Amino acid sequence: MTAFWRRAGWQTRAAMLVLVALALGALLVPALASASPTAIGDALALRLLPPLSVDTAHHFHLLGTDAFGRDLFVRAMLAGRLSLAVGIAGSVLAGAVGIAIGAIGGWEGGVLDRIAMGAGDVLLAIPRLVILLVCAALWPPGATMVITILVLTGWMGVARLVRGEVRGLRARPFIESAQAMGASPTRVLWKHVLPNAIAPAIVAMALGVGSAVLLESGLSFLGLGIQPPSPSWGNMIADGRELIVLAPWIALAPGLALILTVLSCTLLGDALRDRLAGDELETMRARS
C-alpha cells in the first residue's frame, strides 16, 4: 500500500484522500452535527437557505438547507453511509462471485463453464440498467434488494476476465510442476492460479464501485432504490427535483459528493490498471 502511494501520481493520491475523507465524513459528520439530519426543526426559519449561509441561530450551512430546513451537508454525509456501503458491497460481492465462477469455469471447462458463460452472454445482452429497473420494480425496494441485483447483474465481466486468465495459465510450466509434485487441485487453483489471475479482476472491482454507486443513485432517484426517510445521494437529488428552479442547490449539492466518489474510484481504478497491466479495452468492456 505504501509502495503504491509512493509511486502514485498526484491525481491518484488526491483520489485516495478524497475517498478516505468521504468515508470519514460519512461516519463522523452525522454523529457530530449539532442538528439531526433527519429531524425537522424550525422549518419556517431554516428552509431553503442557499449554500454558505448562516441561520438565525448562527449555525453555518456549507451546502444550504432543504425544503424542511435540514442541513444538506450533514444529510449528504449521512446519505454517503448507505450509498458508499451499497456501492462497495455491490461491487465487491459481484467481483467475488465473478472470480469464483470464472476460476472454476476456466479451470474445469465442460458443461458448467458453458452454462455460466451462456448465462453471462444473456445478461450482457440486456442493458444492465433495464434488468435493474425491472427487478427493482418487482420486488420491494431497499438496500438489500439493490445489492442483490447489483451482484446478479455485475459478475459477468469479472468472470470473463478471470476465466481468460485461468485458461491461459492452465498450460504454464509452473502449474504443471505444482501438479506433478502432487498438490491437490484446490491447492493448485488457490495458491498458484488465482494469485496470477486476479489482477484484472481487482481493477474491474475498483472501477465497479463507481458504477455501482451510480446505478444505486439512479434507482433511488427513480424511487426504486433506497427509500426515504433514509437519505441516499440518489433520493436526495430526487427530493430537490421539484424545487430545481427555485432552490437548485437541494438537487445539485448531493450530486457533488456522488461525482467526487465516482471520479475517485475511476482514477484509482485507472492507476491500478496501469500498475497491474492487463488489456485495456477488455477491462473497460467488462465494466460497462
Partner 1 sequence: MRSIVRQLAVSLALFWVVLTLTFVLIRAAPGDPVSFLAPPTATAPELARLRASLDLDAPLVVQYGRWARDILEGDLGTSFVARRPVTRVLGDAIPISLWLGSISLLLTFVIGVVVGGVQGARRGTHLDSALTLVTTTVYAAPSFWLALSLIALFTYGAARLGLPPWLRLPAFGVRDPAGGSGIAELVRHAVLPVLTLTLIGAAGIARYARTSAVELLQLQWVRTAVAKGAPARAVHAKHVLANALPTLLILFALALPGVLAGSVFVETVFGWPGVGRLMVSSIFARDYPVVVGATVVYAAIVILANLAADLALPLVDPRRRV
Q: Which parts of this chain interact with partner 1 (CB under 8 A)?
A: 11, 121-122, 125-130, 133-135, 137-140, 210, 214, 217-218, 221-224, 234, 237, 240-241, 244-246, 248, 251-252, 255, 258-259, 261-263, 266-267, 280-281, 284-285, 288
Tell me if 208 sits within 8 A of 125, measured CB to CB.
no
Tell me if 162 sits within 8 A of 245, measured CB to CB.
no
CA 247/CA 243 separation, integer angstroms: 6
| Helical packing angle, 128-138 and 143-152, nearest 10° | 140
The torsion of the CA quartet 9, 15, 21, 25, rounded to 10 degrees, works out to: 180
Coil, helix or strand at residue 82: helix
CB of 283 to partner 1, least distance (A): 10
CB of 252 to partner 1, least distance (A): 6
CA 250/CA 29 separation, integer angstroms: 19
Nearer to partner 1, 89 or 262 (CB): 262
Tell me if 230 sits within 8 A of 171, measured CB to CB.
no
CB of 163 to partner 1, least distance (A): 19
> How many helices, marked H, and strands, marked E, lie in the chain?
15, 2
Nearer to partner 1, 103 or 235 (CB): 235
CA 168/CA 278 separation, integer angstroms: 13
Locate 20 and state its grid cell.
Answer: 478516505
CB of 241 to partner 1, least distance (A): 6
* Number of residues in the chain: 288
CB of 62 to partner 1, least distance (A): 19
Nearer to partner 1, 28 or 115 (CB): 115
Nearer to partner 1, 79 or 188 (CB): 79
Nearer to partner 1, 73 or 221 (CB): 221
Residue 36, φ and ψ in degrees, nearest 5: -65, 135
CB of 14 to partner 1, least distance (A): 11
CB of 187 to partner 1, least distance (A): 37
Coil, helix or strand at residue 58: coil
Nearer to partner 1, 103 or 253 (CB): 253
Nearer to partner 1, 43 or 222 (CB): 222
Cα angle value 120/124/125 (rounded, 5°) = 120
